[in-house]
Chain A
Amino acid sequence: MSLLELDQVTKRYGAETLALDTITFSVQPGEFVAIIGPSGAGKSTLLRSINRLIDITSGDIRFDGVSVPQLRGQALRRHRTQIGMIFQHYNLVNRLSVIENVLHGRLGYKNTLQGILGLYSEEEKREAVRILETLGLSEQMYKRCDQLSGGQKQRVGIARALVQQPKMLLCDEPIASLDPSSAKVIMDTLQEINRSTGITVLVNLHQVDVALHYAERIIGVNRGRVIYDGPPHALSNAQIYQIYGSEAGELILDLKERYAA
């Protein structure tokens, strides 16, 4: 059974703008999927509709057999706990320590009082420490997040998502603000998580080369429509042109050839 199914998903902003246009695809458990496309293609909107940070206009999204658009209150919170999210700008509380930011990933499981006071159990704390160790952040555990580098901040973001014990990770441009070597560390980490734990990964990228290198499956989006959905090796040059528009497409193909050579 599919973990995630999108059926004719459409999102309209106002009367004119169509951010998502009848998007249909499904994701199997354990897949590593990259969504590529130019800025403003609707990639972010697509990810945010899956954990309902954005409400869709029409269509249906089913996650683990549950229809997402109708969820309210507690049920919506429970749905969100099953999906970890990683952001381009890390979205950490910079004044708090690394471990506190990681434990924020457990807030979805808390009642009101526990949430207000930030009460975490011994096991939760130990689990957070364990995850930080595997991500190579044990030295930074009690440092404030504003003292970290971009790559370290993103690893804290990943730790916060993992501590949720999610079934799926949504990564919204996770390497767009990072230098190439930190970017590689982050992508390797995501791949390693996917392979060792079987957590499904859905990652938005605008670097085609990165997507081709890491993903098992590429979904190409332009103007809110799926242009391509298939394995990386079957993605043709014509389809890259179609996804990115002619001029950008040339540049991307140029890069691709140089990498191949």
Chain B
Amino acid sequence: MQPDAFFRRRRLQSALFFIAMAAITYGGMVLTQFDLVQGLSVIPRAFMWGITNFVPDERAWARLPRILEKLQETVLVAVASSTIASIFGLGLALLGANTTRPHPWFSLPARAIASIFRNIDVSVWALILLFSFGQSGFTGFFALFFVTFGFITRVMVETIDEVGIEPVEALRATGAGYTAIISQSVIPACLPQLISWVLYMIETNIRSATLVGILTGTGIGFLFDLYFKNFSYGSASLVVLATVAVVLLIETVSNYIRRTIL
């Protein structure tokens, strides 16, 4: 094929693709009766409404101590669930990873358990656990615990297998027992990644804790829900701002820790 013909075909393909996209977009707008002009013109007004209503007012600032108290509770639940779940997750990962499993039969069940816990969303866990624990901090704790447990198991299985069988083989050759091999070679080799993932889960869990709180009526999520439904938009936005501030703070700290250990 001549270069000219090749590029002509290329241009034609691009043009056809663009026309198809435009047609689909226009078709969609007609079907949903979306008026582009009105949609765009309403944006400034929406912003104005948001700014006037969601700026924390005096009443909101007066509620700050209560907000911070609930936020602290939420952060602690997130940290506790992440760290405890990670210990259990690491245990299951050791049973499931190819290099450290006590027997080949352990692998599949361990991975399956991890998969089940991880693939059920945190909000679903919260709603299920609501039946068992009611509206308490435990519900949120266990919802975050289960998801973290599944996630950490999954990533640690991969990390352990990535670190490789070589040091494990060397320690087996010295006559070291199973527990010594795990604690002297596998864990030291995986520790930075483990810490990094635990920090990641703490960040994620603080964000998820807000949603879980809305569902289970606890912590910072409960407060947001309460203010929002009472039309105290200023207070609700202060809750959001405070949460964002805490998440940013924790991210900064964990990035610092990551840089130091890796």
Which A residues contact B (CB, under 8 angstroms)?
A: 51, 53, 76-81, 83-85, 87, 89-96, 104-110, 112, 115-118, 157, 160, 164, 170
B184 touches A104 (CB 8 A): yes
- Residue numbers in B under 8 Å from A78 (CB-CB): 175
* A93/B174 contact (C-beta < 8 A), A115-B179, A115-B180, A116-B180 known: no
With contacts A91-B166, A95-B189, A104-B185 known, is A115 near B173, CB below 8 A?
no
Enumerate chain B residues within 8 angstroms of A112, measured Cβ to Cβ: 177, 179-180
User: Which applies to chain B's interface (DSSP): helix, strand, loop or mixed?
Assistant: helix
Q: How far is the CA of A94 from the CA of B188 in the complex (A)?
A: 9
CA distance A1 to B55 in the complex (A): 91
- Interface digits, B165-178 against A, CB 8 Å rule (1 contact, 0 not)? 01101111111110
In the complex, 9 of the A-B residue pairs with CB atoms within 8 angstroms, ordered by the A residue number, are A53-B173, A77-B177, A81-B175, A85-B173, A95-B189, A104-B176, A107-B175, A160-B170, A164-B175
- Chain B residues near A106 (CB-CB < 8 A): 174
On B, residues with C-beta under 8 Å from A are 166-167, 169-177, 179-181, 183-185, 188-189, 191-192
Interface centre among B176, B179, B189, B192 (most CB of A within 10 A): B176
Total of A-B residue pairs, C-beta within 8 Å: 89
Closest to B172 in A: A53
Asked if residues A110 and B180 are in contact (CB atoms below 8 Å), the reply is yes
Closest residue of chain A to B173, judged by CB?
A85
Task: List the 3 shortest-distance A-B pairs measured between CB atoms, nearest first.
Answer: A108-B175, A115-B180, A80-B175
Question: Nearest chain B CB to A217's CB is how many angstroms away?
Answer: 23
Assess the A94–B189 pair: CB atoms within 8 A: yes
* Given contact pairs A93-B189, A96-B188, A104-B184, A115 touches B169 in the complex (Cβ within 8 A): no
Within the assembled complex, what's the spacing in Å between the Cα atoms of A157 and B174? 11
Instruction: Report if A93-B180 is in contact (Cβ < 8 Å); known contacts: A53-B169, A85-B170, A104-B171.
Output: no
Assembled-state Cα–Cα distance A77/B180 (Å): 12
Given contacts A94-B189, A160-B174, 5 further A-B contacts (CB under 8 A): A87-B170, A91-B167, A91-B169, A115-B179, A160-B170
B94 CB, min distance to chain A CBs, angstroms: 13
CB closest residue in chain A, given B182: A116
Q: How far is the CA of A116 from the CA of B192 in the complex (A)?
A: 19
Residues of B within 8 A of A79 (CB): 175
The distance in angstroms between the C-alpha atoms of A176 and B144, with both chains bound, is 49
- Complex Cα distance, B179 from A117, in Å, reads 10
- How far does the alpha carbon of A240 sit from the alpha carbon of B102 in the complex, in Å? 42
Is the beta-carbon distance between A107 and B173 smaller than 8 angstroms? Answer: no
Complex CA distance for A109 and B171, rounded to whole angstroms: 12
